[in-house]
Structure 1
């Protein structure tokens, strides 16, 4: 599972980098890393930290969550279900703690 996750993240970073026309060296410079580190991530040889992932996402000009939107076999894995969850998440992010607790109570009543 962990190796598969590293592979998916590496593939996604490579896709985003290439979409932006960046070399590994250019991405490394923008993110503050050596190009060999970027290559290691893309080849799933490096277990990247969250902080370094955030730096790479920033250098790519994307939200860190975009790194976790995997594309396999030409089909976006971001299904209708995931799109619905994203929309719900955006609504919840706009709430204060009281609103979040209220939403949690409602969801528990509906689905437990």
Structure 2
């Protein structure tokens, strides 16, 4: 069913993030206040999980809520440019405000077009 596609994609993203953190379904469930079987249902796209519960899962995974929606569909091709952009975004997410401003200014200078020629 088409309407289940978003559930499966978000669930798959939860699974990837959970494994990246080295957590079992049980450990993630404990951190978020859920039964491990609920986490399994979410990961398989079987539960129409609420936004409140997604926020709790994101907090338990120590990621921003938006990162649960940063999935890539299987049929999409990831280019080296896409990977580089994602790496830059990931670095910026971890930067403090001062470093963020500095990075923004550096990027502005690097990407500025030369109008003198």
Who is 1:44 aligned against?
45
> Which has the higher mean CA deviation after the structures are superposed, 63-72 or 43-52?
63-72
In structure 1, the partner of 2:78 is 75
Size of the aligned set, in residue pairs, is 81
Unaligned segments of structure 2, at least 5 residues: 90-117
Name the CA distance, whole Å, in 2 between partners of 1:17 and 1:75.
22
Matched with 1:33 is 34
Higher-Rg structure is: 2
SS at match of 2:29: helix
Q: Which residue of 1 aligns with 2:59?
A: 58
Name stretches of at least 5 consecutive residues in structure 1 with no aligned partner.
Answer: 87-112
Alpha-carbon shift at residue 2 of structure 1 (Å): 2.3
CA distance in 2, matches of 1:31, 1:49: 14
- Residue 18 (structure 2) pairs with residue 13 (structure 1): no
Distance in 2 (CA, whole Å) between partners of 1:6 and 1:62 is 18
